[in-house]
Structure 1
Amino acid sequence: MRTLLDFEKPIAELETKLAEMKKLAIDNNVDVSVAASQLENSIEELKKETFTNLTRWQRVQLSRHPERPYTLDYIEQMCDEFIEIYGDRTVGDDKAMVGGFGKIGEQTVMFIGQQKGRNTKQRQLRNFGMPNPEGYRKALRLMKMAEKFGKPIVTLIDTPGAFPGLEAEERGQGEAIARNIRDMFMLKVPVICIIIGEGASGGALGIAIGDRVLMLENAWYSVISPENCSTILWRTWDFKEQAAEALKLTALDMQGNGLVDGIIPEPLGGAHLNPNLAIDIVKKTILETINELQQISPTQRINQRVEKFSGMGVYN
């Protein structure tokens, strides 16, 4: 059974009517092709109208849809081969951060990203996609390994934030994220960062310093989630929709403010409705971007990376 968001329900009702009409036609040997075609057109128009005019909070809801593809879904479908690499060589292996070498055609890529879980057991194992310091240290270890072998890096960002527990702070959460940010600026290989779902706070930024920072159409990227922003300002989650509007956290907002380099389109209705197509679009974008970045020398790439991030938030 498909999970439906409130604004998807009118579309789902029409789709149910269409399915019933087609079943009735088969059972009674009746031609309903004209009526079915009209209803299909109505569904398509309603989809376009609905998903073209989504509020910022509705896009946040789409980014969290439980059927939306996660990091490992992208990696497993895009790669002909994938070898996952574990551990930070200090504390242990953080299941919320995954990574390893993957092969797309003839191109070997180091993939790194946060992984959420689909059921209760997986969510507990993956810590709801919230990495501990060892997750960021593992990510940096993999980046240095990719640099050593001259392989491009692709990070897939989907996290509600770094894990805020006391033990994470004791093991140096802030230092681990800060070190990643510093060292990512100086990587000599192409670095592509893609926000595929939620991109919250330093938890996202810890793997988001790249030559190209891209966002999926229904992803969000912000210093804080709408709920937490609402809690700080109004001491309740009830104003999360107003907070989302104020934060201007959608892909269009981010591109308009020069904080991301591009938007990757999703299938009509969101990536969860056609995961295979969404993943194919991301795969094509990755290959094209790697090809573009490989034409630039490492020194130029590093200089452009530093200039891009240094210029953010600066106004004359």
Structure 2
Amino acid sequence: MLDFNATAFTNPSTFILVGIPGLEDMHVWISIPFCSMYVFALIGNILTLFIIKTETALHEPMFYFLSMLATTDLILSTSTLPKMLGVFWFDYHEINFHACLTQMFFIHAFSGVESGLLVAMALDRYVAICNPLRHSSILTNSVVARVGTVALVRGLVLMTPHPFLVRRWPYCRTNIVPHTYCEHMAVVKLACGDISINSLYSLAVIILIVGTDVACISLSYVQILRTVFNLPSKDARLKTLSTCGSHISVILIFYIPALFSFLTHRFSKHIPRHIHILLANVYLLVPPMLNPIIYGVRTKQIRAYVLQLFMTKIN
């Protein structure tokens, strides 16, 4: 086991990821659901990408957005889980300083990309339900490509300063990160300088991205629900409400733990650290596992393709 005593230095070559503080003895047991979610996320998202690529009938806006979301989920989960499992299973707590900054960039940048894609998918559902006759003319392939590009560029550009701001500080207190991955504020709090620039910039980015995206998603689903309640068929209303409900559930699972994690670092000193760290992992693990089911298998075209695939193998 590594000795987690603080050391005095200025430029660390490595950081030490503790894992989940206070629950070190349970790391192996905690790793079981974490690893299971990662495996399901890999299988589900890779299968989603394969189906969308091979089935030409699925080459339309909703499934283009779904393929972008699947790719983002693969990047998000893979940027954290392998190293986390190394901590849990093999007590391999060290992470190179630059590898830590790289992990930090991928986690925060693609969290921003995922948020943008959730907005795009909500807008796609809005057009499909509220204005179905103009869906194909509004969401053309070029529009889908531009929306996807904007979501990607926004996430990358707004999050790129984070590792550079972290890199400029001296670390003369300790290199021990009380987390399972290199979360921005968890790392920058170890610096022995005035980190208010980091904190303010990070908070501004969170407000900009989450505030804008949640507002757009909320407006889209309000309009969708208004349209749904005006449908003449009760079965159609229930079916659409069921689909919207599952979408909203996944969206909440992504945003609520993410906001909880971000804001706890800044404003709360009373939340038990292990609760904070566990919830900080939820938005990186649970949505990538659920998205292929909620947006994929529950979609009639993908479900039909999967059933056909399994029936062919059985026969």
The TM-score with structure 2 as length reference comes to 0.32
Structure with the larger strand share: 1
Q: TM-score, normalised by structure 1?
A: 0.32
Structure number with the higher helix fraction is: 2
Q: Which structure has more RCO (C-alpha within 8 Å, separation ≥ 6)?
A: 2
